[in-house]
Amino acid sequence: MRLTLRLTSVLAAAVFSLTATRTHAQQAQQPFILNNEFPTQGDAFYEFKWPVKKVAIIGAGAGGLISYRTLSQAGYEVLLYERDHHPGGNWHYTEETPPDAPIPNLDPAIADFVPSLPPKGITLPFEEVYDLEDVGREKRAFRAPKPIWRGLRSNAPKVIQQIRELPWPEDLSWDISAIQLQGYLRAFASYHGINANDENPNVFYNTRVELVEKRYDTNTGEHRGWRLTLKEFKQIGSKSVKARWWTEDVDAVVIASGRYNAPNVPGIPGLDEWNAKFPGSVTHSRVYKTPEEYENKTVLIIGAATSGAEISGIINPYAKKVYLSNRGHHDPHYQYPWDIFLTYVPDNVTFVPEIKAFHPANSAKESIIEFVNGTKLTGIDRVISSTGYRYSFPFFPQYHDTSLGDNETASEGPQPLVTDGSHIRSLHLDLVYIEEPTIAFINMNLGIQSFTYSEYQAAALASVWKGQAKIPTQERMWELFEKRLEEFGGAFDKHWLYLGTDGTQGV
């Protein structure tokens, strides 16, 4: 079924219309309603329970940096937190690798990281200095080196991977390199005084948001904004580190923490046993950096989407043989031309069907891989799982509910944001949490270019939180949500947040 919610164009039109028709709306005493039935005016709208003045942003990737610029220019007091020591998020390339992907998958609530909270009952801020055997490993676990690899070039034309005030040079080829994107985002951060060396008192690098909880007014006991528990983690000597925890109270939170943090490894029978028996032989594309380590190896790559297809081509001249397991994409929800990725795959990479089971024997080489069509394969040295990511917000344990699975509705309490990790639910326009519209998400969609898109999302938030644009009542937002879910097919899956560049959601 084809859905015709043209969300990108709606957001764009909404933001445009805010500037263009606000005067008209004000004159007519008719607030503009940010809705997916644009334009809808005259409806009842959501009333924020407290004024939004102070906003925290989680993440200094493209989305967080753009949000910082937009919200601070709109007059909000903005605080920015980034666990890495640099801005740029996904585009901050180093050859350091994150810890290997757990096999089997962890619960999505802790799949990105396990929150590190200060000792219970301690007065904050609390600071601890201690020695570590392997400082590098702990630092990597904290900052989570980003999942791109050496030589990566953008697969999006530069015009849609551009920030308004910083046009790319015209003569630059359109497939910009990761290194150029990294420099670009650093330049953008510097331009706005929010780079790591700007000593901006509102910007915190090496700082992870560990927990976001409701903050209650001490006099009235009412829910009024959010309390963040923050941890700064820094190396101060060859073996010694300093950890510092503190809290910060804000009126609203922008979650721009990225969607490529928690690796997904499929639960193929025997894979966890194989991994336990032959440590280091199975890895996730998140950890893949350079091809040299695959020299003379026979490699099986699971998953032939963007990463798997590209990695197969890069390691191919080094490896002895490369197999690429392609499940095929017959998903009716997906209209993306998947085969486009396969153009990266050289002729001498061997396609194999979906894997049915791993049968570990005495060594990886002797072990058997069984495919769904009944054929078997041996002689594999290394397996790379290029099988995507899951949504994981460890600072929000209260809004994760793994038990719910595909069920649309939790029986009591607030509707969760994340269940099995394949999607985020309970959002209005994929942007604000219907239960708590002072919580917003930036860039969580698939299929849309995040630089341009976050400009619109941040502009929409700046207007909504000021009351210049309105969102519908919670009841109406749920109605719209249910309607969209019904049109989508009645159950969530990983394409729930798919947003094509033509503005379509779903197929």
Ligand X SMILES: *[C@@H]1O[C@H](CO)[C@@H](O)[C@H](O)[C@H]1NC(C)=O
Does the footprint of ligand X cover residue 402 (CB under 6 A)?
no
Choose the contact partner of 411 out of ligand FAD, ligand X, none; CB within 5 to 8 A by kind.
Answer: ligand X
Q: Of 12, 203, 254, 256, which one interacts with ligand FAD (CB under 6 A)?
A: 256
- d(Cα 471, Cα 477) in Å, to the nearest integer? 8
Give the phi and the psi of residue 451 in degrees, each rounded to 5. Answer: -65, -55
What residues contact residue 300 under an 8 Å CB cut-off, 6+ apart? 323, 325, 352, 369, 377, 380, 382, 383, 384
Pick left, alpha or beta for residue 204 (phi over 0 → left; psi -120 to 50 → alpha; otherwise beta).
beta
Does the footprint of ligand X cover residue 301 (CB under 6 A)?
no
Q: Of 269, 317, 332, 467, which one interacts with ligand X (CB under 6 A)?
A: 317
| Per-residue mark of binding to ligand X, 240-279 (x: CB under 6 A) | ----------------------------------------
DSSP, collapsed to helix, strand or coil, labels residue 336 as: coil
Kind and range of the H or E element at 65? helix 62-73
- d(Cα 476, Cα 272) in Å, to the nearest integer? 45
Does the footprint of ligand X cover residue 312 (CB under 6 A)?
no
Which stretch, 149-157, 239-247, 269-277, 370-378, contacts ligand FAD (CB under 6 A)? 149-157
DSSP string, 154-193: -SS-GGGS-BTTBPPPTTS-SS-BHHHHHHHHHHHHHHTT
For residues 376-415, b (16+ Cβ closer than 10 Å) or e, as one string?
ebeebbbbbbbbbbbbbbbbbeebbbeebeeeeeeeeeeb
Closest distance to ligand FAD from the beta carbon of 259 (Å): 7
Does the footprint of ligand FAD cover residue 155 (CB under 6 A)?
yes
Does the footprint of ligand FAD cover residue 391 (CB under 6 A)?
no
223-235, strands of its sheet edge to edge: 126-131, 240-250, 223-235, 207-216
Closest distance to ligand X from the beta carbon of 317 (Å): 4
For residues 204-214, b (16+ Cβ closer than 10 Å) or e, as one string?
bbbbbbbbbee
Q: Of 17, 392, 450, 463, which one interacts with ligand FAD (CB under 6 A)?
A: 450
Closest distance to ligand FAD from the beta carbon of 30 (Å): 34
Does the footprint of ligand X cover residue 295 (CB under 6 A)?
yes
Choose the contact partner of 374 out of ligand X, ligand FAD, none; CB within 5 to 8 A by kind.
Answer: ligand X
- d(Cα 76, Cα 79) in Å, to the nearest integer? 10
Which stretch, 347-355, 416-424, 447-455, 492-500, contacts ligand X (CB under 6 A)? 347-355
Does the footprint of ligand X cover residue 411 (CB under 6 A)?
yes
DSSP, collapsed to helix, strand or coil, labels residue 80 as: strand
Tokens coding 229? 């528990």
Burial of 40: CB neighbours in 10 Å, binned 0-12, 13-18, 19+? middle
| Per-residue mark of binding to ligand X, 442-481 (x: CB under 6 A) | ----------------------------------------
Q: Of 375, 378, 402, 403, which one interacts with ligand X (CB under 6 A)?
A: 375
Question: Closest residue (Cβ) to ligand X?
Answer: 411
Note the residue count of the chain.
507
Task: Name which of 219 and 411 has its Cβ closer to ligand X.
Answer: 411
Closest distance to ligand FAD from the beta carbon of 94 (Å): 12
Binding interface with ligand FAD (CB under 6 A): 58-64, 81-84, 89-91, 144, 147-148, 154-156, 161, 208-209, 256-258, 260, 307, 395, 443, 449-450
Binding interface with ligand X (CB under 6 A): 295-296, 316-317, 319, 321-322, 346, 348, 351-353, 371, 373-375, 407, 409, 411
